[in-house]
Amino acid sequence: MMFQRIAYGALAIAVTVALVLLDVVVAEWSTDLEGPFGDLLRRGSVIPIAVTVMILLGAVELNRLLRIKTARPHRRFAYFMTAVLVLTPWLSAAGWLGHGAAEVEGLHWPLVWIFTTFIGIGILTVVRGDTEGAIRDSAATLLIIIYLGFLGSFAVQLRCGRDIPSEDGAWLLLIAILVTRASDIGAYFAGSALGRHKLAPRISPGKTVEGAVGGLLTSAAVAALIVAVGSWAGGRLVTVKTGTFGADLYGLIDDLTRSFAIQQDPDGMSPLLRAIFFGLAMSATGQFGDLIESSFKRDAHVKDSGELIPRFGGILDLIDRPMVALPIAWFLLTAVWNVA
């Protein structure tokens, strides 16, 4: 069991890193590409598409859980609006939805889609013509769209946001994901070795207070390590071409390690302290996201959200932590610290 968990975790991290590198390579390749399509590729390519696919698969699993509880979400509408919300930051940053400041920065259209969601649910409820469970079904539809579509859109916003220069968003997203996933790894090993006190026995009996603390410390340590490596690497890396992509491999590593501390904090907080705070925030919100999804599964009386990976779970089991943590990452990195 432990070997499988380590193997699947390593594979997930490797796939994530590969997707980020490919997205960065496409962004650099499209630098001289003119027109709307070039604008789109410079803001992202592989990442927004991969995130959308993952979120939609998670929506299918959540719909299944809701139907176990006899809810009947308007699933096609929920899937469509979820995809629209997730893709909006990408299309907005590329100027495909308008060229005004509100449209380009992705502030205008999410509000439009949320308004559309409420109106659409109301219309579908009336058209269905069955008042039995109307409140339950409307709430279930809204849960899918807001929980997965709206929260999930911050992963794309972090990658593609217009206020984040070029491919820096890909590194910021990767850092946020790695720091959040580190919490899961730390919590598992700390809980297995030291776990004595149950954290939330009625929601997730396997989680312990000791495991939660281990997750907090691991995320903080990983975030601090990223900044430490970035401080050491700045100006020391030698230019080496990969040959395969024609990219500057050491330049990519330099961008990754420096991106968390590109600018000094206006309040004077050192990059190291900021990284530790960031790690603690990612771990705390990620663990809370895990408990939210566990409460859904507990209510539906299922162990895993799906059967994507044997003994590991489904898509929701993989994205439950980042789903809640990434909006906080976006807020801290872009709105509070302006690291990009």
Average pLDDT for 183-204: 91
pLDDT at position 256: 55
Given a cut of 70, whether residue 70 has pLDDT beyond it is yes
The larger pLDDT score, comparing residue 80 to residue 108, is at 80
Dump pLDDT digits (tens) for 288-322: 999 999 999 999 998 887 776 655 678 999 999 99
**Distance between CA 172 and CA 175 in Å, rounded?**
5
Q: What is the mean pLDDT of the chain?
A: 85
pLDDT at position 238: 42
Q: In the structure, what pLDDT confidence band is assigned to residue 176 with cuts at 50, 70 and 90?
A: very high
Quick one: what percent of the chain has pLDDT higher than 70? 82
If DSSP codes are grouped into helix, strand and coil, which group holds residue 324? helix
Find, among 280, 301, 292, 279, the residue nearest to 319 by Cα. Answer: 292
The larger pLDDT score, comparing residue 108 to residue 101, is at 108
Contact 138, 73 (CB under 8 A): no
Average pLDDT for 4-21: 82
Quick one: what percent of the chain has pLDDT higher than 90? 57
* Beta-bridge partners for 309: 313
pLDDT at position 309: 65
Q: In the structure, what pLDDT confidence band is assigned to residue 333 with cuts at 50, 70 and 90?
A: confident
* Beta-bridge partners for 83: none
Which residues of the chain form beta strands (DSSP E)? 198-200, 204-208
User: Got the DSSP string for 200-247?
Assistant: ETTTEEEEEHHHHHHHHHHHHHHHHHHHHHHHHHTTTPPP-B-SSS--
Given a cut of 60, whether residue 249 has pLDDT beyond it is no
Structure tokens at 329: 């990452």
Indicate the Cα dihedral angle 142, 146, 147, 152, nearest 10°. 150
Total residue length of the chain: 340
Side-chain half-sphere of 92: how many Cα atoms within 13 Å?
A: 28
Given a cut of 90, whether residue 139 has pLDDT beyond it is yes
User: Got the DSSP string for 245-286?
Assistant: S--BHHHHHHHHHHGGGSS--TT---HHHHHHHHHHHHHHHH
